[in-house]
Structure 1
């Protein structure tokens, strides 16, 4: 009875938290329909937090830290029932009776929930992706921030590790050789030594100072059992699943279009989307050539970029160099009124967790909106010490001074970190929790160009060349994502495409191609940037001489990370075209 009472108390507290966050929206939406919708939203969010305990942890709701997402057959059925139920309920709401904000939230929640059906019911990731059964991110979320005493978090890790064993068992039943691509198995195996090392080393070290006793012993046993189970899983992947894997990583045109609708509310024919990408790639290549000629007209653009990439910090100096540059970029944003930064807290620069470094160069990990701690991590990927020197050098080429600056603008100031800081104060729980990838990544990529346009680094062409190279990489992602998943482009062809069109080293080009196999939506960077530029142009035309760039950025960020289609509606009063018109193919 005591446990039940405690659970009920915590549940009531959680609902009170949701209602309190949503309360400001209620003040602006007094109608009965609006009040009913906000109550419906609170129920939906609570259902989502219970269904996805790992997501709840990342958001900073720690009621379910002792659980993992259930990927058994019963768990998958629960996800499908949940999504169908809520889509049906949201459809019963009459949009004409809702405020513009609530109607936008309703549209966004329906799209988001259909996305859950897309990946579970149509694409069936649980039958084709070995990595979704790994508990690394779920456990790392409990050790990387000190949101509770170590002994409390250790108990949660113990329970989560025990629960993860069932998911590893479910993987053997769920994964279908006919649907599982060999490249997915290969990526999982590439990261497995680092994954097992994470549990043997990092997780154990996180609780080294906890006093010995029954809790510590239970943790040690659970951690050792999980590491052993992961080793067995790796052997099963290599010896059993890999030889029989015949699946295609491509999700197909129908699923691709549905993904764009669900994730970013973009509804355009694939041929038109591809043409937009071809046009932008050509524009960027021409600008890249002109900028390279300003630096060194006697050498080819590729040679100029390669010469700049050779000048980089040693491995042990990458993190200090990245950290040292953040303060000056932040000061520039403030001095030039580019965007409001509502906090003086700086993110901590850390090495990317080893289990995650196979497909990323840098990333921003901000605390969830419900988290009390303000610890934010700017992750940077360093070479694996076991790599040969030539491979290490190819990765380090990413960290020339201009490239570091460009990446920090994207990830921190005024990119993802500033977007997080602004959105953390959003009174609308829908916008607090759910984000559109094209909005989030589009904002980061937009900032890379915008900051140089606004005078950062005083027009130094070396910094512009680095920004253009990164823009070319995202332009390649845009086209590779479409072509890999709808036109049969292979990993080898995608790798060469990145080398030829984005001046990437062979290693970095392969990283990008491999990412594309499992991330069909990584066109979101350029797609979002182009939509933001179109929105900015249309707002400028509407406001005329009154247009102010800093105010535009603040107004954009105030809307939350919802699809840009909905932000256009809020800022312009109508939807309008999301992208500049192109000539029909």
Structure 2
């Protein structure tokens, strides 16, 4: 995936979180956890459940978009208050909530509730970082773009079209005030990449409202509603285009001042992901993963395109395009991916839901692919895997190169749907604790989805041929360069141009993707979480399965891992290993060193146990 599913920048974290239900159920003790003490006293349990309920209800009220996206449609049409006063009040409320949650000491809670408490505290810490410490409300359009997306009303059939149209009209009527507040908050000078993001996002919404939305509601016969729609639509177009024009006017004063700095970057990782390793160790781990995947690509290319350069090899694999384009190609891949998961018995698939594949709307094309999954309060609604077409303004050669080859697309589809994001949320939405259905962390969800690409290759997907391996590795290298770029851009003085070149040289990205990826690193500093999450999951799998049969325990590991919802991975490690929350990253074994003992392999799986991209198969 080239875009985060529920990116936990504030607006998306809100969307992933708030949508929750207020059903207070205790999470079961994790398998392998330390023996639980006596159950909490009934009075303490009731107080804890009430505290969580109060947090969720307050969060709904302050973040109505997240509530509506979760399926709480009494919040339809509402937008948050983005005024400086409201943002500060939200900070104060979060601090008060944190104090109230932290007041539940270990002696008042059982083992499951202690995990819940730490999960809630980590969520609040992440929210406070984005609201207060990051400074994004004052300069980063991505802080707002998630909340402003109208996709829910147009693409999710949660109610009859006329009812959704009425909600959409209310949303449009709220946009001018929101746009005025956003414009007041985004004070220049702004980084050039932030200006470009806002111009594209807000301007794309204006064009979408003008060209596409009227047709979406054309069949509704309510004349009064249509008249109200026409009026609100004109004002919404004006508001969004006005924001885009305002940002365009900032271009002469544009800066390159996007870096968080080492201290703030480290605070981001601690607050949002519970990761507290020194930056030099984090950097070394990412560089090592980049090196192992480059070495594996060289080996695969020796078999696939012997004597050619790595770039020529990748181009050869990329030239094998999916029939009918990326959208049609992805549709054709999903059934096979699901069947492979079933045949290899890799992870449980709860339910019978399927995901649709569609072209991404014009206002959300800053990355190649993403998936939208209905919140836990929705029933029997489809998830949609969106794929962006190339920018029509690019040269034809760049537009053609932007469409991935079949092998590359296969692992994007694995990441987004089977067994990546979509399967993750099939599990998360069945959690016994509603909070875990709502708050899903960046490194957990993107780490899982990226991890599954490598795991699927290791299990023999499509014969694990050299061409298929190249498809998996190009996806891995993309995430490795994101990791290195995030640290470089925000802590090491790396320029956007240097990051762009790195995506071309080490991840073999086409010019359009390289530009997008380098720019994204400036306004999404957490996009190292794909590789960071994967490395934490790989190490946890190695440690957990070591005493449970090695590779034969993969399915049990996957099911157990997915049972937690989406907390920081170090917190999951503490639950699964029966100890404290801690950060441990997997590193490839030295050349010639033995890999993890495979023990009993799943039926039909290759015998090699090392993650793909490491030792030769």
TM-score (norm 2): 0.87
SS across alignment from 1:356: coil
Paired residues of 1:199 and 1:227 also in contact (CA < 8 A): yes
CA 1:331/1:28 → structure 2, altered by over 3 Å: closer, same or farther? Answer: farther
Q: Distance in 2 between matches of 1:546 and 1:332?
A: 17
**Greater alpha carbon shift after TM alignment, 99-108 vs 481-490:** 99-108
Structure 1 equivalent of residue 346 of structure 2:
338
Among candidates 292, 299, 306, match of residue 308 of structure 2: 299
Paired residues of 2:81 and 2:178 also in contact (CA < 8 A): yes
Q: Distance in 1 between matches of 2:453 and 2:225?
A: 48
1:385 offset after TM fit, Å?
3.9
CA 1:545/1:493 → structure 2, altered by over 3 Å: closer, same or farther? Answer: closer
Structure 2 equivalent of residue 11 of structure 1:
none
Structure 1 equivalent of residue 382 of structure 2:
375
Structure 1 equivalent of residue 561 of structure 2:
556
Structure 2 equivalent of residue 578 of structure 1:
584
Q: Give the 5 Å matches for 1:448-459.
A: 448-459=453-464
1:579 offset after TM fit, Å?
1.6
Structure 2 equivalent of residue 325 of structure 1:
333
Q: Distance in 2 between matches of 1:244 and 1:534?
A: 46
Encode CA deviations 1:488-508: one digit per residue, 9 max, x unaligned: 211100000111111111221
1:78 offset after TM fit, Å?
2.1
1:126 offset after TM fit, Å?
1.6
Among candidates 227, 240, 251, match of residue 230 of structure 1: 240
Paired residues of 1:60 and 1:367 also in contact (CA < 8 A): yes
Structure 2 equivalent of residue 22 of structure 1:
25
Gaps of 5+ in 1: 1-14
Q: Distance in 2 between matches of 1:117 and 1:577?
A: 21
The yes-or-no answer on 1:275 pairing with 2:284 is yes
Paired residues of 1:276 and 1:582 also in contact (CA < 8 A): no
**Greater alpha carbon shift after TM alignment, 142-151 vs 442-451:** 142-151
Paired residues of 1:349 and 1:378 also in contact (CA < 8 A): yes
Structure 2 equivalent of residue 405 of structure 1:
410
Cα RMSD between the aligned structures?
Answer: 2.3
SS across alignment from 1:348: strand
Q: Distance in 1 between matches of 2:306 and 2:253?
A: 53
Q: Distance in 2 between matches of 1:512 and 1:545?
A: 36
Among candidates 126, 134, 150, match of residue 123 of structure 1: 134
Q: Distance in 2 between matches of 1:312 and 1:256?
A: 39
**Greater alpha carbon shift after TM alignment, 202-211 vs 21-30:** 21-30
1:207 offset after TM fit, Å?
1.2
Structure 2 equivalent of residue 284 of structure 1:
293
Q: Give the 5 Å matches for 1:479-558.
A: 479-544=484-549, 547-558=552-563
Structure 2 equivalent of residue 153 of structure 1:
164
Structure 2 equivalent of residue 101 of structure 1:
112
Structure 2 equivalent of residue 206 of structure 1:
216
Gaps of 5+ in 2: 1-17, 30-37, 590-617
Q: Distance in 1 between matches of 2:587 and 2:42?
A: 39
SS across alignment from 1:363: strand
Structure 2 equivalent of residue 196 of structure 1:
206
**Greater alpha carbon shift after TM alignment, 192-201 vs 208-217:** 192-201
**Greater alpha carbon shift after TM alignment, 167-176 vs 21-30:** 21-30
Matched length:
562
CA 1:546/1:77 → structure 2, altered by over 3 Å: closer, same or farther? Answer: closer
SS across alignment from 1:22: coil
Q: Distance in 2 between matches of 1:42 and 1:67?
A: 21
Among candidates 337, 347, 356, match of residue 348 of structure 1: 356
SS across alignment from 1:354: coil
1:370 offset after TM fit, Å?
1.1
